[in-house]
Structure 1
Amino acid sequence: MPEGLIVKALSGYYYVQSADGSATVECRGRGIFKKRGESPLVGDRVVYSETENGEGTVEEILPRVSELIRPQIANADLAVLVFSVVRPELNFVLLDKFLVHTEHARMDALLVLTKMDRIPGGEEGESIRRTVEEARSLYSSIGYQVILTSAHEGQGLEQLRSALAGHINMLAGQSGVGKSSLVNALVPGLKLETNEISVKLGRGKHTTRHVELIPISGGGYMADTPGFSQLDFAELGIDEIGSCFREFRALSSQCKFRGCTHIHEPHCAVLQAKEQGKISESRYANYVSFMTEWKETKRRY
């Protein structure tokens, strides 16, 4: 039986692209998946069979390299985290939360800051530019690539195309940050639905309603995923949160106590680095906040 890649899942159907990319077959999943509590995901490499009417059945899910719960996608190897610099404003707490989840999924992350052309003049614009430079400097120092873009003016698009080539890229971020506009600019001829920001609410409407892999130059795919604004830590443990901060992970082996929470223990290498100014105060404050949120979530369950 042939192997293929699930490029879209919609209304109980899985659209499987053949290994050579010549055809896409509309498939149903085998009933055994439901009994096992499994579900094929966009990005899954699968074995499928074809029926006489041109449809097919997903017979087997091949081993996954990675898996995310929200958005649901398998085998993505690069998380493209999109944040706008204006409307909605750059949110460091949410950015760090996204990074925790992508690190936990053992994926690399690329940070894309959009709407650079929308920065106003005057003092407000200067303040925004300082925040953008702070973000670029901070996250670059940790080891993340940061690209500044404008979908309308083409700023940063060539650099972004180069970074995405050859990967299954997961595009994610808040509603209204310009993800669909970015994909439209990257893939000529594609017309993803976009919406302007609601002036009253200060955020965008969800314009992407399902996960779909879109082919891009370089042989890779872009997964345009439904917008979301909240992530929880229900599936993470206390040890995992610390290891999902790259700069903490590099220091944790030097902590005196195994399983150090990096909050109150003596001889903690992370706390020492923070006191010496080697770790960002904002990153550490977000870490403490996430730990508190995790403990509260655990109590509720």
Structure 2
Amino acid sequence: MKKEGIVFRSTGSWYDVKTEDGESIQCRIVGKFRLGNLKITNPVAVGDVVIVTIEEGDDEGIGSIIEIKNRTNYVIRQSPRKKHQLHLLASNVDQSICVMTIAQPKLKQGFIDRYLLMTEPYNIPTRVIFNKADIYSEGDLNVYLYLKDIYEKIGHPCHLVSAITGEGIAELRAALQDKTTLIGGQSGVGKSTLINAIEPHLALRTDDISEYTGKGQHTTTFAEMFELTGGGRIIDTPGIKTLAFSHFEPLDVAHNFKEIFKFSENCKFSNCMHRDEPSCAVKAAVEDGEISELRYMNYLQILEEIEDQNYWERHSDM
């Protein structure tokens, strides 16, 4: 018997699929699935619409995924364990949320730009959430206002929230209504606590920041989708330690920093990388304050990381 459903949970070898009639089926993969010519560690992602067959006999209730329907989009990242392979985080999402904190753990602003570089190639609208507002000092709040100005100017709404006091939660919940939203962030930013504040009945497991390292401890092991009572779905993902881009070419970076791409149309050279080239409109925009110097410095750092790998190393997975 064939049924269509959506993948709600992925453990790497098993997938929980919810069918149109609300049945939840544990599934394995039958056959090989590819994503173009990219080498990926997990061929099926949470959010995928799939066709499954239900096994009979001793394995009744166990299904097999035999087909993946066309995706409207997907989000991939460099595999944290195999740098020449990619990992599918989710598919068919309407928007994404990058959860950050300014304190506990201390802000790593560069992570925001790396997260946006993960979603921008697929035109996925992304919001930046600054959690733990209840512990922010006046200086921390000034940092928030500074970053809010940078990111809202380039089209990324920012929210100041506290999962503990409830500040900003109602506004955030409204932004999630009737949409499928991918939620990501570094370990320790309170992502699971934030999801519990948005949808209390989920009661996701949470851990405190490690007193020894000052870093967050993972509480989400696998990607999982949850239904929201007000309409919509959220896809929770494991905490991200670092984001690298060995699968990108330098021009991919330049094209997906949206304000850099916009100003690059006025550069003297069509292949300008906006470093030492003459008549560079991007560098002029940075000097004039039209492009954030912070964003520009992160752009240069990511370029340098990619160029440190030679061409064959970057393309070893093709």
**TM norm structure 1:** 0.92
- Aligned-partner Cα distance in 2 for 1:42–1:298: 33
The residue aligned with 2:85 is: none
Contact 1:233/1:297 (<8 A) preserved: no
Alignment coverage as a number of residue pairs: 294
Counterpart of 1:63 (choices 60, 65, 70) is: 70
What does residue 108 of structure 1 align with? 125
Identity of aligned residues (%): 34
Offset from partner CA, 1:37-64 (integer Å, 9 cap, x none): 7721111111112223122211101111
Q: What is the letter of the counterpart of residue 46 of structure 1?
A: V
Name which of 181, 184, 194 aligns with 1:182: 194
Secondary structure in 2 aligned to 1:49? strand
Taking the TM superposition and a 5 Å limit, the aligned residue runs for 1:183-198 are 183-198=195-210
Superposition deviation, residue 96 in structure 1: 1.1
Instruction: Give the equivalent residue in structure 2 for 1:240.
Output: 252
Aligned mate of 1:264, from 255, 271, 276: 276
Alignment of 1:48-197 (within 5 A): 48-52=52-56, 53-70=60-77, 72-119=89-136, 125-197=137-209
Question: Mind listing any 5+ residue stretches in structure 2 that lack a counterpart?
Answer: 78-87, 314-318
Matched residue SS, 2:50: strand
- Alignment RMSD (CA, Å): 1.9
Greater Cα offset, 47-56 or 93-102 = 47-56
For 1:297 and 1:216, the matched residues in 2 are separated by 43
The change in CA–CA distance for 1:100 and 1:164 in structure 2 (over 3 A counts) is: same
Instruction: Give the SS at the match of 2:97.
Output: strand
Q: 1:100 to 1:72 in 2, by over 3 A?
A: same
Partner residue, 1:122: none
Q: What is the CA–CA distance in structure 2 between the aligned matches of 1:96 and 1:10, rounded to whole Å?
A: 28
Instruction: Give the C-alpha shift of residue 218 in structure 1.
Output: 4.2
Task: Determine the C-alpha separation between the residues in 2 that align with 1:142 and 1:233.
Answer: 22
Contact 2:31 2:66 in 1 (8 A): no
> CA deviation digits over 1:146-178, x for unaligned, max 9?
011001111111111111122221111110000
**2:310 aligns to what SS in structure 1?**
helix
Does the aligned pair in 2 maintain the 1:76–1:169 contact within 8 Å?
Answer: yes
Give the TM-score taking structure 2 as reference length: 0.87
Task: Answer yes or no: is the 8 Å Cα contact 1:234–1:298 preserved in 2.
Answer: no
- Give the drift of 1:250: 1.7
CA distance, structure 2, for counterparts of residue 217 and residue 239 of structure 1? 42
Structure 1 residue 87: Cα displacement: 0.8
Conserved? CA contact 2:76–2:118, under 8 Å: no
The whole-number CA distance in structure 1 between the counterparts of 2:265 and 2:12 is 47
**Ranges of 4+ aligned residues in structure 1 off by more than 4 Å:** none
Unaligned runs of 5+ in 1: 120-124
Distance 1:110 1:208 in 2: 21
